[in-house]
Amino acid sequence: MDIEEIKEYLPHRYPFLLVDRITEIDQDNKIIKGYKNVTANEPFFEGHFPGHSIMPGVLILESMAQVAGVLAYQLQNKKASEGFLYYFAGADKVRFKQPVFPGDRLEHEAEFIEERHHLLKFKCRTIVNEKVACVADIMCVERQVTLD
């Protein structure tokens, strides 16, 4: 799934769309894989940190959640462009295991775990340079909205 298809599912836009491509969706096992190429031109590197650029952990988590969000839309057969949004509702068991620098690729994997009362839970991990960079259990909640 390329960036234009991703934009049909996610409401995010530059500079907050933090997914470049979805590489695999396994509907049977409820698993998705996607990535974000981290470039030296990312706006957040201007202040985090001058002279020693590191991607903020919360943005790694957000990028991971956006990939999980695409899976949520796929499993529910909905799209943001149709007025359905999945809000990031929480994260448990978050661990940042290594820093992310300009030039790295965040390789995300999310697995759907359960749904309760419109709250969806995913087990996620991010790989950078063949090493685990982040793990988290991510929750999102479905809301129908009126689009402007």
Task: Give me the CATH number covering residue 17.
Answer: 3.10.129.10
Domains in the chain, number: 1
Q: Please confirm, yes or no, whether 48 is among the known catalytic residues.
A: yes
Q: How confident is the model at residue 87 (pLDDT cuts 50, 70, 90)?
A: very high
What's the rounded mean pLDDT across residues 6-32?
96
Do 21 and 34 form a contact (C-beta atoms < 8 A)?
A: yes
What is the torsional sign of CA 80, 20, 43, 135?
A: positive
List the one residue out of 144, 145, 124, 4 whose CA is nearest residue 65.
Answer: 124
Predicted pLDDT of residue 73: 93
Q: How confident is the model at residue 80 (pLDDT cuts 50, 70, 90)?
A: confident
106 is in which domain, residue-wise? 3-144
Catalytic position from the list 48, 52, 117, 118: 48
**What pTM was computed for the model?**
0.95
User: What proportion of the chain, given as a percentage, has pLDDT over 90?
Assistant: 88
Between CA 100 and CA 61 the distance in angstroms is 12
Give the 3-state secondary structure of residue 142.
strand
Q: How confident is the model at residue 146 (pLDDT cuts 50, 70, 90)?
A: confident
Between CA 13 and CA 77 the distance in angstroms is 21
What's the rounded mean pLDDT across residues 90-106?
98
What's the rounded mean pLDDT across residues 85-92?
95
C-alpha of 89 from chain center = 13
Q: How confident is the model at residue 19 (pLDDT cuts 50, 70, 90)?
A: very high
